[in-house]
Structures are given as C-alpha cells and as structure tokens.
Amino acid sequence: MKKKFCFYSILCLLLTAMPLIPAMMISPKTSAEQSTQNSNSDPKSEIASETSEISQISETSSNQIYHVLDITSNEILEVPVREYLIGAVGAEMPASFETEALKAQVVAAHTYAERQVLLAENRSDLQGADFSNDPDQYQAFHTEQQLRELYGENFDIYYQKISNAVDSVLPEILCYNNEPIIAAFHAISIGKTESARNVWGNEIAYLQSVDSSSDCNAPNYEQNSSYSAEQVQEMLSSAHSGLLLGTDTANWFGEPICSDAGTVLQIPVGTSIFTGQELRTIFSLRSACFTIEYDKKTKTFIFQTKGYGHSVGMSQYGANAMALQGSDYREILAYYYPDTILKTV
C-alpha cells in the first residue's frame, strides 16, 4: 500500500537548502542538464541583504581581467573577460542551444561576474580573487582545454558558436538601480519560475515568478530518486540530530505547504518541520518541487521531482524555447528579469 503526498499550491518560502544565501545576492550600494553545473548552486550569501553598500558601476569602467581562484590548483588565474565568458557559458549552457539563448546566458554570466567583482573585497575565502570556479559557490568556468575535452570532435563548431555569441553582446550587463543584478539562472523550471522570496527569503523586485511552461517538455523534467526507509532515517538523523520519526514509517512525512508554482515550502517530518530546500539538499534532489511515496512492500521512499535547479531567474530551457519561437536575447532577458536595464561596461 502506498501513501502519496502531492505538493501543489499555497505560499512561498525559503531556499534551495543549499544552505546559505546566494553569493550573488548582496546588493552593491549572485546547465541545462550536462553543462549547467551552477544550476544547482545558490547565490545565497549575496541575497543576505539587498541594502549593503558597494560602489555602483561606472559606465566607462570595464574589468579587462578577472582573477579566478582555481579550486583544483589553488592558484589565481588571470582570465581576460572575453575568455572568461566563453568558458562560463560553455560550462553552464549546452552549446547546442539557440544562439539567442546563448547570448542571454552571456549577459547573465557577465552580469554575475561584474557583481562578484564588486562584492569580492568583502569575502575572505577568495585569497584576493574576484571569484572562484567552484560551481557550488560561484559560477562554473571551463578553460579552453576543458572545453576541448567536453566537446570532443565538435569543439571547433561549438567554441566558435559561443565565441560569436560572446562577441555580439560582450559590453552588456543587466542592471537595476544602476547596479549589476543578481543574475540567477537554472536549468529547468517547474513550469513557472520561483520568486527569490520563496526560495531565499528576500524579496527581489526583478526575481519574481513567471510562466515557463515550455520547461515541462524538457528532457528529464520529471525524475525519481529512491531510498530505503533505513537510508532515509539515517540521512534525516544526520541532518537533524534531535529528530524523532516514530514507529509508523509511512507517516514520517506529513502534508506539505507549497508555493503557487509547486515548490515545497514546509513539510512536517517526524517531530520537526523542514523546508523543501532542506530536503532537496539532504536527498540530493534535482529541485524542491517533489512528491513522496512510501512503498510498504519494499520499504522504500520514492521522491519524484520536477524541474532542475532552484527555479529562480532565467530558465535555460525556457530561454531556448523562447529563442526557438523567435525571441531575441533582449526579449528573453526582459521576460525573466523584468524591470532590469541593459547597460554597457
């Protein structure tokens, strides 16, 4: 006999419990499948306060070199902006995507980097770098050699395609109140993007929920993960040492509270209450939009997820769908980041 919990609408809350707040999200006054490593990372430290002071961007200043901490060698790489954007887009979005979607990703990557430069002086983990290439903390970045290995025999075609996209929009970044925005993005939404408030706890004017129903047609939009009851108990107890689950395994998980988009905001688990983001982290789920079934016969919990990533900001598959329908990168960016302005640096 199975007990099924379906997580549909109500309100919105917290984070992709990838525990902090996005490194992208402190104000200056923070994949698609194989290639989008950063779609699972959170700009958490950056959302901490949209009020902290950092100097605003200058129309005439352009960072010609980014200093990137390589987490493998622990060395700081000096990477020209153009080279960095090629490597970031190559690491974060499939090169097979439409050119206008790639351009939108270039602008998002450039905006992210410029914002991090302004925030870097407040971070003690960078050893003087602007950011690192750790996809769990910052934006992913591949060197040309890594892209050669990724693309194989298609390297020349894909590298040129991304380079052309970079060259066509290189000076542009997205701004709000004359500051680089928190250019959050993810691989696949759950049919709607989520507001920053629901995922990270802070209201951000340009990170609101918008329809992205084309994502429902993306590869692996739905995916299951299974864990034995023993594994679930061990993983939950490790994350919450004082948790009591009770003897009725089928009732370990209670009825959830969900956002309008479908993200699990809160759910009773034993004697405690978890956010959907916390469970996403504990069980390595692709998103915080999930249902849970318990199969008494096999003593197994089955998590069915929809989407991939935190669902805030630009959906990469959604951007590609818009491009296929004739939208250019400006229209894509304006849709997923409303009320923002393209500026040159």
Can you tell me the mean pLDDT for 286-299? Answer: 96
CA 70/CA 298 separation, integer angstroms: 45
Nearest to 66 by CA among 22, 114, 28: 114
Phi, psi of 247, deg, nearest 5 = -90, -20
What single letter denotes the amino acid at residue 335? Y
Kindly report, residue by residue over 211-262, the tens digit of the pLDDT.
Answer: 999 999 999 999 999 999 999 999 999 998 889 999 999 999 999 999 999 9
For residues 91 and 176, the answer to whether their CB atoms sit within 8 Å is: no
Give me the pLDDT at residue 4, please.
39
What single letter denotes the amino acid at residue 339? D
CA 30/CA 47 separation, integer angstroms: 7
- Bridge partners for 305 per DSSP: 223, 290
At 133 the three-state DSSP class reads coil
Phi, psi of 205, deg, nearest 5 = -55, -40
Give 278 or 61, the one with higher predicted confidence: 278
Give 18 or 22, the one with higher predicted confidence: 22
For residues 110 and 174, the answer to whether their CB atoms sit within 8 Å is: no
Give me the pLDDT at residue 11, please.
31
What ranges do the domains of the chain cover? 2-11+219-306, 33-199+213-218+310-344
Kindly report, residue by residue over 128-157, the tens digit of the pLDDT.
Answer: 888 988 888 889 999 999 999 999 999 999
What single letter denotes the amino acid at residue 259? S
Nearest to 8 by CA among 313, 291, 315: 291
State the pTM of this model: 0.84
- Residue 142 has a CB neighbour count (10 Å cut-off) of 21
Q: Give the lowest-confidence range in 23-37, 160-174, 243-257.
A: 23-37
Can you tell me the mean pLDDT for 157-162? Answer: 98
Q: Give the lowest-confidence range in 60-69, 245-254, 307-316.
A: 60-69
Give me the pLDDT at residue 128, please.
85
3-state helix, strand, coil in the chain (%, to 5): 35, 20, 45
Whether the per-residue pLDDT at 186 is higher than 60: the answer is yes
- Residue 135 has a CB neighbour count (10 Å cut-off) of 19
Give me the pLDDT at residue 47, please.
55
